[in-house]
Amino acid sequence: MTTVLATGPTSSDIMLRITCPECGERDYTEFRYGGDATRPRPSHGTAESKVWHDYVFLFDNPKGPHREYWQHVLGCRSWLVLERNTATNAVGGARRARADVIRVGTSK
């Protein structure tokens, strides 16, 4: 079995670990990246196709502290919001994503 290391300009030889609120600390290979957790998602059936196009295909590539969606696909299958520094791969807290859903045109 081959071990894949998280890489980056300042990463160490320690693998990226994510703490799932349901399952505990796990290797990042059990998770799938789900996108930027700071962007409002358009509501189904209410937005024009340009709004969906922009949401799906146009995005920033931030450097530094950032909130991201991750799904624990090889565990409890929960969606999480993960605090991660994209420059160093340092992982902060993770929480269930359900309460953080932001919709375009609605207040949080």
Question: What does the pLDDT read at residue 16?
Answer: 86
pLDDT digits (tens, 9 = 90+) for 29-61: 999 999 999 988 888 887 788 888 898 899 888
Provide mean pLDDT across the span 93-108.
67
For residue 57, is it within any domain?
Answer: yes
Range of the domain at 83: 17-100
CATH number of the domain to which 21 belongs? 3.30.2270.10
Q: Domains in the chain: how many in total?
A: 1
For residue 68, is it within any domain?
Answer: yes
pLDDT band at 108 (very low <50, low <70, confident <90, very high): very low
Of 13, 10, 4, 53, nearest to 31 by C-alpha is 4
For residue 21, is it within any domain?
Answer: yes
Pairing of β 65-71 and β 79-85: antiparallel
| 73-86: b (≥16 Cβ within 10 Å) or e | eeeeebbbbbebbe
pLDDT digits (tens, 9 = 90+) for 4-37: 555 554 444 567 899 999 999 999 999 999 999 9
For residue 107, is it within any domain?
Answer: no
pTM of the model: 0.72
